[in-house]
Amino acid sequence: MRIRKTASGITAAIMLATVVCSPLCDNFPLTSGGVAVVASAEKANSASAQKSVTDYSYTVTPLLEPFNEYFFVKTDNPNPCSFRFIDKSSIYGDSGNISPNRDYRNDGPYLYEDIKYENIQTGRVDGGYIFAGSYTDGGEVELQSNVSTGSYYSSTWEDTGVKLRLPTLKDDVDYLIDTYATKSDFFDNMDAVESGFSSICLYSGSYIRGELYKVGDYWGMSTSPHKDQLFYIQSPYKRKNSKPLFASTAYPYRYDSLGFPSVLSTVAKRLDSTAEVSWNEDYHYLVDVTYNGETRSYGGAGTGEGQGISNDKIKQYFTFTNNSAKLTTDSLRELLKYYASIKMEDDVPREDALTWKSIYDTVGEGSWVRLITITGIFGGSGIGYSYLYKDGDGDYFSTQNAGNAGGEIYWGGDLGYASDVWVDGRYVDAYENFVPGEKFENHHTSSIFIKTDLPLVKYKTEYKYDYDTGKYVSYSTVTSVEIKKSNVLFNYYSDDNIWTASYGSFENGYAYYDKIKEFVEKGQLDKKYLDMVTLTPDEVKALKVDRNTDAVPDKYFVYDMTEEPGTSSEKHIHSFTSTVVKPTETAQGYTLHTCTKCGYSYKDNYTPALKPTELTGVKVKTQGMNSLTLAWDKNANAKGYIIEQYKGGKWTQIAKTSSNTAVTYTVNRLAADTTYTFRIKAYAISGESEIYSDYVRIAGKTRIANVASFKGSAVSASAVKLDWSKNDKATGYVIEQYKGGKWTQLAVTKNNTTLTFTVKGLAECTPYSFRVKAYKNDGGKTNYSDYVTVKASTLLGAVKNAKVTSVTETWITLEWAKNDKATGYSIEQYKGGKWTVIATTKNNATLKFTVKGLKNDTTYSFRIRAYKTVGGVTAYSDYVRIAGKTRIPNVAKFTGSAVSASAVKLDWSKNDKATGYVIEQYKGGKWTALATTKNNTTLTFTVKGLAKGTAYSFRIKSFRKTGSTTEFSEYASVKVKTVE
């Protein structure tokens, strides 16, 4: 059964005389159009320049912006190998150069069949060249000059001082993240990127098909390097002189079933560097991503397949003039789909071609086959054995083309196969390959394939209505039983510690294992039939499933491309040649005996491995107060390393590694400011013994102790005070601040008694990081401690422009200016001999608060401070105090009465706190003062000259004069109508 598309081109290319994959180089995007950047080159101040590249002009255009893979460089420089551009600040690493797109196989320009060149020797096209990048992120790049005369790939480059600016660029992974990872959840983003990536990714691109030629006499078959793939038909044909298409190289997303999950693994690490990624154990096209304890699988492959086409099928030739149509990923994808849809004539001779049906017919009910075994994606191939058998009617084979030279992949169907199975006394692994020497105890839960009696149980099923439940119930009854010799695959069932016949072992229409078990339990079948489809551990032991584990099959059919496919080898007689293999530092010597007919081999006459070489690069990598980290170069021939420390008057082993890739070791629990001596040796395994290299000694001194305590506290909105404890062993201290993306030294004390430092000129309400280290001058050398780090924030700035903006007899309104850094404000009133919070705003945009329920003619004190809450922690600014006084009371009573048709009389009660009163009338659209009394005993006023029968509005306020200060009450109003 087909799982998903695999990397057929990659795996097939490993083989001898195998499938030819697309010859396109694994380059990435090309594009047309983009932002051109012109450098007006000025001669560099380099005395060594022979002919300066700055004598020429350059226009650099990213092709398929914003991707950073390919560029068109328009220039009058006739030598594209004399210059390049370097991006020294790229986020993608320090090798962000933009260089000529060259074919390393012939040390010449990479030429595409759908581009018409002005000069194929230099790759010049439309007044310039195609350059390749992939590690630049745009921005500033510098022109460099090639000052060497040898091969381009060993060039020496010098800066010219000429700088250009490119638009912001990104690689194909960041493009996926920026386009699709718009969620807040990690796995939601992974799902979105996988879905988006699948929608635009192609499996491969097309190319110009080269000439077919034969490299062998016979077709053959091979295993696959993947657990989830089966077999390949291997063609004896290959192609030569195939040519790439610019359209295929231009498109950034062409990934097979290995490249696709590799991209997603990079996506996961860029989304969060703490994510862990590993290849899925069962499916080659998946990676397992673990994040916060949860694991999910991601992967797939591009859709569709490219193919080899002829030159007359080229639909578009690419040019790079100002009038060229701009390339887009959509247009490139559609062009590649068009090329893939072209019906090309199959020019592979098929008269003697191997087919899955012919293999099916040859192996019959079960047979070993000798075939090519692939040992890994990027490994080699050898000769091995697999077990095949008929598993159906022979009319169904799920296959897929593999390249344009006749290769084919078998995914599943009527050709049965052994995989992680014991068969014929031998073990066949999950890669369908016989592994000599395996024992049953090492694979004691693997399946077992045997030819045995299989009960074929016919039965009928009836449905009866159950009146109690109101449902139909099925009843099965055995109608016949016959016994047939069959190939039966028994799978292990851990719950009962038995092996049971697999579902596929039974013919259609007959009871399978669970049904047979049901009939036995109901008494419809004899238990012997259940025993036929069950293997117990004792029965498996009696079968001796590993009885032939060291013996190469003596009867098989040949499919390894050395003979006519399907050739039978009856009794196999080995014909051995012997080769003496000398010992190395990592392995014993031995005599290798190899069969010239089938490839089977064995070893004898073992000799000890050589002594490992002495370690190089041994050093103290890092020093801590209580630790030293030792490092050394990898010894490729070692099994591991032994580290010893001199203590107590003797050498003591403190560590032994089991791998030669572990090239550092940290020794902990050491004393500060102390010198220690170590020695290290490599070891290797020879047979069952260890052999050792000579020791390499090294000494290291731990750092002095740092200060015991280091604290930071805010002293104002612009300053932080740092305090630390005294270190009696130190000469002084170094204080640093993290700013501008790096640690910057603020101060170095000249003694160990200075224990405080104030950092000024800081921003309001801002967190800062500081660190201190102690140092000790000793014999002309300075020894430093580790750092101690602290974080401290400046205070929030005090509220500004706080003031009383309005008052009444019982209210006072406070206002202040906005503090952009604050979360809100806290308002307090002094009452009852203490300060009491009367309001806290929930935002910094509320800039007013009215205090109500106050007494008249009373002075009140208030204070306001800003606060900021981050992560559940609240910081406050200093207080700002303000005072406000409520108004004096007004008259208790204010009345009016008509005295004539032209006059009204106003009366009011006496206000003992007032100096006098102000009487006003509303006329002409505004209030107008009529009278101001000079004492508080005048309690009446007559308004004359009014109109007959008309209503008028009047108001009164009290005032009190103290020295030069006058205070007013609120108004009291009344309406009065003159007599008709």
Per-residue pLDDT tens over the stretch 170-204: 999 999 999 999 999 999 999 999 999 999 999 88
Q: What is the pLDDT of residues 523-564, one digit of tens each?
A: 999 999 999 999 999 999 999 999 999 888 889 999 999 889
Residue 390 falls within a domain, yes or no?
no
Q: What is the pLDDT of residue 32?
A: 32
Residues 932 and 966 in one domain: yes
Q: What is the pLDDT of residue 34?
A: 33
Q: How confident is the model at residue 377 (pLDDT cuts 50, 70, 90)?
A: low
Number of domains forming the structure of the chain: 7
Find the domain containing 874 and state its range.
Answer: 803-885
Q: What is the pLDDT of residue 372?
A: 92
Q: What is the pLDDT of residue 35?
A: 35
Residues 880 and 906 in one domain: no
The pLDDT of 581-610, averaged and rounded, is 79
Q: What is the pLDDT of residues 785-804, one digit of tens each?
A: 999 999 998 988 899 999 99
Q: What is the pLDDT of residue 362?
A: 94
Residue 325 falls within a domain, yes or no?
no
Q: How confident is the model at residue 604 (pLDDT cuts 50, 70, 90)?
A: confident
Cβ burial of 604 (10 Å; 0-12, 13-18, 19+) is exposed
Q: How confident is the model at residue 586 (pLDDT cuts 50, 70, 90)?
A: low
* CA–CA separation, 74 and 321 (whole Å): 9
* CA–CA separation, 566 and 368 (whole Å): 11
- What mean pLDDT is reported for the chain? 89
The pLDDT of 78-96, averaged and rounded, is 89
Res 309 pLDDT > 60: yes
Q: What is the pLDDT of residue 547?
A: 94
Q: Angle formed by the axes of helices 259-271 and 172-180, to 10°?
A: 60
Q: What is the pLDDT of residue 958?
A: 95
Res 8 pLDDT > 80: no
Which residue did the predictor score with more confidence, 320 or 48?
A: 320
Q: What is the pLDDT of residues 826-854, one digit of tens each?
A: 999 999 999 999 999 999 999 999 999 99
Residues 54 and 157 in one domain: yes
Residues 163 and 42 in one domain: yes
Res 363 pLDDT > 60: yes
Q: How confident is the model at residue 94 (pLDDT cuts 50, 70, 90)?
A: low
Contact 192, 179 (CB under 8 A): no
Residues 784 and 821 in one domain: no
Q: What is the pLDDT of residue 33?
A: 33
**Other C-beta atoms within 10 Å of 374: how many?**
25
**Other C-beta atoms within 10 Å of 80: how many?**
24
| DSSP sequence for 764-812 | TT-EEEEEEEEEEEETTEEEE---EEEEEEPPBPPP-S-EEEEE-SS-E
Out of 284-288, 567-571, 832-836, 898-902, which region has the weakest mean confidence (pLDDT)? 567-571
Residue 475 falls within a domain, yes or no?
yes
* CATH code of 807's domain: 2.60.40.10
Q: What is the pLDDT of residue 323?
A: 53
Which residue did the predictor score with more confidence, 519 or 875?
A: 519
4 forms beta bridges with: none
CA distances from 115 to 41, 149, 245 (A): 29, 29, 8
Residues 631 and 596 in one domain: no
CA distances from 40 to 86, 132, 143, 246 (A): 17, 22, 11, 30
Residues 640 and 720 in one domain: no
Contact 422, 435 (CB under 8 A): no
Residue 32 falls within a domain, yes or no?
no
Contact 721, 715 (CB under 8 A): yes
Q: What is the pLDDT of residue 43?
A: 35
* CA–CA separation, 384 and 362 (whole Å): 18
Residue 190 falls within a domain, yes or no?
no
Half-sphere exposure of 943 (CA within 13 A, CB side): 29
- Give the distance, in angstroms, between the CA of residue 685 and the centroid of all CA atoms in the same chain: 39
One-letter amino acid at 837 equals V
Q: What is the pLDDT of residues 653-681, one digit of tens each?
A: 999 999 999 999 999 999 999 999 999 99
Tokens of 931: 């009278």
Q: Which residues lie closer than 8 Å to 744 by C-beta, 6 or more apart? A: 736, 737, 738
Cβ burial of 723 (10 Å; 0-12, 13-18, 19+) is middle
Candidate ranges 101-105, 270-274, 391-395; pick with highest mean pLDDT? 270-274
- Say whether 654 sits in a helix, a strand or coil: strand
- Report the predicted TM-score, pTM, of the whole model to 2 decimal places: 0.56
Rounded to the nearest 5 degrees, what angle is found at the Cα of 424, between the Cα atoms of 423 and 429?
Answer: 35
Half-sphere exposure of 729 (CA within 13 A, CB side): 14
Residue whose token pair is 């052994």: 418
Residue whose token pair is 């009962």: 496
Res 687 pLDDT > 90: no
The pLDDT of 26-42, averaged and rounded, is 33
Residue 126 falls within a domain, yes or no?
yes
Among candidates 812, 818, 885, which has minimal Cα distance to 849?
812
* CA–CA separation, 637 and 691 (whole Å): 11
Q: What is the pLDDT of residue 11?
A: 28
Among candidates 44, 40, 43, 42, which has minimal Cα distance to 57?
40
Res 115 pLDDT > 60: yes
Res 411 pLDDT > 60: yes
Out of 885, 910, 944, pick the residue that ends a domain: 885
Out of 825, 853, 885, pick the residue that ends a domain: 885
User: What H or E segment, with its residue span, contains residue 756?
Assistant: strand 756-759
Residues 163 and 68 in one domain: yes
Contact 457, 481 (CB under 8 A): yes
Q: How confident is the model at residue 244 (pLDDT cuts 50, 70, 90)?
A: very high
End-to-end CA distance of the chain: 110
Residues 660 and 718 in one domain: no
573 phi and psi angles, rounded to 5 deg:
-115, 120
CA distances from 562 to 219, 220, 270, 403 (A): 9, 8, 49, 22
User: What H or E segment, with its residue span, contains residue 174?
Assistant: helix 172-180
The pLDDT of 207-231, averaged and rounded, is 92
18 phi and psi angles, rounded to 5 deg:
-120, -165
* CA–CA separation, 54 and 44 (whole Å): 7
Cβ burial of 758 (10 Å; 0-12, 13-18, 19+) is exposed
Percent of the chain, pLDDT > 90?
74
Percent of the chain, pLDDT > 70?
93
CA distances from 255 to 5, 8, 21, 304 (A): 11, 12, 13, 11
Cβ burial of 747 (10 Å; 0-12, 13-18, 19+) is middle
Cβ burial of 156 (10 Å; 0-12, 13-18, 19+) is exposed
Within the chain, how many helices (H) and strands (E) appear? 10, 68
Residue 678 falls within a domain, yes or no?
yes
Residues 578 and 491 in one domain: no
Contact 606, 592 (CB under 8 A): no
* CA–CA separation, 411 and 401 (whole Å): 11
* Helix, strand, coil shares, percent, the chain, to 5: 10, 45, 45
* CA–CA separation, 693 and 683 (whole Å): 6
User: What H or E segment, with its residue span, contains residue 594?
Assistant: strand 589-595
Residues 738 and 809 in one domain: no
* CA–CA separation, 222 and 380 (whole Å): 12
CA distances from 75 to 40, 69, 98, 139 (A): 11, 19, 14, 20
Out of 676, 701, 726, pick the residue that ends a domain: 701
924 phi and psi angles, rounded to 5 deg:
65, 30
Residues 689 and 807 in one domain: no
Before 29, cis peptide (omega within 30)? no
Tokens of 845: 């945009």
Q: How confident is the model at residue 780 (pLDDT cuts 50, 70, 90)?
A: confident
710 forms beta bridges with: 724
Q: Which residues lie closer than 8 Å to 776 by C-beta, 6 or more apart? A: 673, 704, 729, 730, 731, 782, 783, 784
Residue 79 falls within a domain, yes or no?
yes
| DSSP sequence for 677-742 | EEEEEEEEEETTEEEE---EEEEEEPPPP--S-EEEEEEETTEEEEEE---TT-SEEEEEEEETTE
* CA–CA separation, 526 and 520 (whole Å): 6
Q: Could you tell me how many residues make up the chain?
A: 980
318 forms beta bridges with: 115
